[in-house]
Amino acid sequence: MTTPDITLYTTGTQNGVKPGIILEELGIPYKVKNIELRKNQQYEPWFLKINPNGKIPAIVDHSKDDFPVFESTAIAIYLCENYDPEEKLLPKNDPKLRSQVIQWVMFEASGIGPTQGQSNFYCRFNPEKVPFAINKCANEIKRIYGVLNKSLEGKEYLVGNKFTLADAMSYPMVRGHFFSGVESIDEFPNLKAWVKRIDARPATQKGLNVPVPDIMKEFQENPEKLEEFEKLMHIYFKDRLKI
């Protein structure tokens, strides 16, 4: 296996912390550059060469001819394909188990991530509250959480009863449920226990603090910080959307 030499470009959003969690769980050495979204660094020409879509996160694998990878799901699979010989997060030799993990990874990429992303906009970023949109997103998030909760019945983790990429990709979104308009997950006891279980993983906790201290934790513990953040986002989006 090639010795990894990776630079991670990201910031501490629910989506942005995913690669840091994967890198830490796999014990892959890496460098990190914090991309300041409010300064629009993600649209600078040098970054657009890495990700033409101008979004975080992204990585560059310098050990493979400065190969760039963007989109959190693509990054996670790339890292496991190249730097997970022990199959810690993604099975290679059991096709059914591998498929199950990838199915849940895609469930996050097509369902949890986009739905909570939309909800984040309407709950936190949009200068004008739209109750219909907020409620619609919250209901869909709860439906998705219900799927996870049922799938975790009698299990500690989603696939093979061990922590895999299936858990690592959904966890950062679910733990930030309050940010996405779902104040409590008490009605989903299996899911709540799963979050608490993953909270106890040291490598995952390190990843949550890359490249900045855990933002979701700060917002949950300090509501005034969340309120201050919302005000900044309202100003930012008013300018971007020309409201």
Q: 147-206: per-residue pLDDT in tens?
A: 999 999 999 999 999 999 999 999 999 999 999 999 999 999 999 999 999 999 999 999
Q: Which residues of the chain have pLDDT under 70?
A: 242-243
Instruction: Give the alpha-carbon dihedral of 144, 169, 14, 106, to 10 degrees.
Output: -60
The answer to whether residues 90 and 77 touch, using CB atoms and an 8 Å cutoff, is yes
Q: In whole angstroms, give the CA distance from residue 122 to residue 84.
A: 38
The three-class DSSP label of residue 159 is: strand
pLDDT number for residue 243:
55
Q: In whole angstroms, give the CA distance from residue 219 to residue 120.
A: 13
Question: Could you give all domains of the chain from N- to C-terminal order, each with its CATH number?
Answer: 6-83 (3.40.30.10), 95-237 (1.20.1050.10)
Burial 111-123 (b: 16+ CB within 10 A, else e): bbbebbebbbbbb
pLDDT number for residue 1:
73
Torsion 166-48-125-8 (CA) sign: positive
